[in-house]
Amino acid sequence: MGKPTGFMEYQREVSRSEEPLQRIKHFNEFKEHLPQERQRLQGARCMECGVPFCQSGMMLCGMASGCPLHNLVPEWNDLVYTGNWRQAYNRLKKTNNFPEFTSRVCPALCEAACTCGLNGDPVSTKENEYAIIENAYQQGYAAPKPPKVRTGKRVAVVGSGPSGLAAADQLNRRGHLVTVFERSDRIGGLLMYGIPNMKLDKKIVERKIQVMQEEGVTFVTGADIGKDVKADKLLHDFDRVVLACGASNPRDIKAPGRDAEGIYFAVDFLKANTKSLLDSGFADGKYVDAKDKDVIIIGGGDTGNDCVGTSVRHGCRSVTQIEMMPKAPDTRAEDNPWPEWPKVCKTDYGQEEAIALFGHDPRIYETTVKEFLKKEDGSLCGVKTVRLSWVKDPASGRMNMAEIPGSEQVLPADIVLIAAGFLGAQKYVAEAFGVELNERTNVKTAPGAYRTSVDNIFVTGDMHRGQSLVVWAIREGREAAKAVDESLMGYSNLVVQ
């Protein structure tokens, strides 16, 4: 512990964001990070606890507390303070393949479990992680490091999201010959097309892909396995196959008028937006333009917020985000103590921008869509909503959502974006490989395992556990890689945690 009194001497300090009304004029990352000397003082705030909850990654009351990757947080926080940036990078990379991604998009489960946060402000661990990895690229520490020995074993990874990339990275480090197949035109999956550019600049994704290529990983784009490429070919050409295709079935909203023109799944809206931005700077017009439109977003999670931020950047006339659940409290409730994940109201970047632009929070709570309204030509013109309340079922004792009579309201809408989450693996991929699905339509494995019902086929990520965070996807990829390695070599020296 380099600075025993650091947490008392220094206040938490994080990067400064560009003002909302300025940053909505572009799709670039908008945070101005601290200079190294000030960042080092943030490392000094770490208490190096005897029991570091920040790296525990344990489940408390059904929620993760601490980092699922078990990042060695106190170690590299201290190394940041002492200015030993190279060693900090080495310790960070032992558990995290992609700190350049997690330091931008992770909700920082480590900080929520930080002991400093019990009676004050947590250590700015996510910002320290960003400083470590970006310094590593600047200084050359993050340069390609191809394996010195090859095993001759060939592994195919289907899907290039964070889980597939993590599995590929680990297996390549072990010396196996890894080929990653991606059905889109660019590598990255969720990282490339599911997360807007202002949240994760695609140059950052491309930078890491370039490193992995130079380390020996082969990437194939435009390969839709199960459609364009037969599953049997992969099983013939490779010793093992890892399925990492994500939970790709968006949850729909079944309400009258659903066939109206102007209703889109959020993932399609975000993908088209980023692809058009990258391909032509929006000159091709191949995206859903929200300019001067009334936009309704159904769903209150990260994806819904990303839709808010994207719509605002387009120049929408109005934006409303509908959430079924009640507003969370602004501070921890008594029944939600530290180090549990804090179930508090979070106003994210998109909502901040909508507030700055329109003068009010775009979110409406305890509400659902009852009907989509359309004009004679079939185009969307509004949505009818209804308020909800929690009602106890006398038979089961369960609390259920029920409509409040007379609470209907009509909101104008030119565009509706459905951001209600995802449900399981896409059926055609599972059928192509003949793997079994479980009751949640994820690929079935034994508990805690990654081997599917078909020989030599493994599964990882959202396709295995259901929709989750990038940090969980990386952990899944690492664990699946270890299982694949053991099946190929009879043992594994890959480090998972």
What is the tens place of the pLDDT at every residue in 129-187? 999 999 999 999 999 999 999 999 999 999 999 999 999 999 999 999 999 999 999 99
Residue type, 104: R
**pLDDT tens per residue, range 314-334:** 999 999 999 999 999 999 999
pLDDT of residue 468: 93
Q: What is the β-pairing status of strands 318-322 and 363-364?
A: parallel
Query: Which residues, in sequence order, are CB contacts of 81 under 8 Å at separation 6+?
Result: 2, 3, 6, 40, 41, 43, 44, 46
Tokens encoding 278: 């990258």
pLDDT of residue 243: 98
**pLDDT tens per residue, range 346-391:** 999 999 999 999 999 999 999 999 999 999 999 999 999 999 998 8
Confidence (pTM): 0.96
Instruction: List, in order of start, the domains of the chain with CATH numbers.
Output: 6-139 (1.10.1060.10), 154-248+423-489 (3.50.50.60), 263-418 (3.50.50.60)
251 confidence band (pLDDT: 50, 70, 90): very high
Residue type, 165: L
Q: Across the chain, what does the average pLDDT equal?
A: 96
pLDDT of residue 424: 87
Sequence-ordered strand ranges (E) for 363-439? 363-364, 367-374, 380-392, 399-403, 409-412, 415-418
Kind plus residue range of the DSSP H or E element containing 64: strand 63-65
Cα 274 from Cα 195, distance rounded (Å): 8
Sequence-ordered strand ranges (E) for 323-379? 363-364, 367-374
Rounded to the nearest 10 degrees, the angle between the axes of helix 85-93 and helix 125-139 is: 110
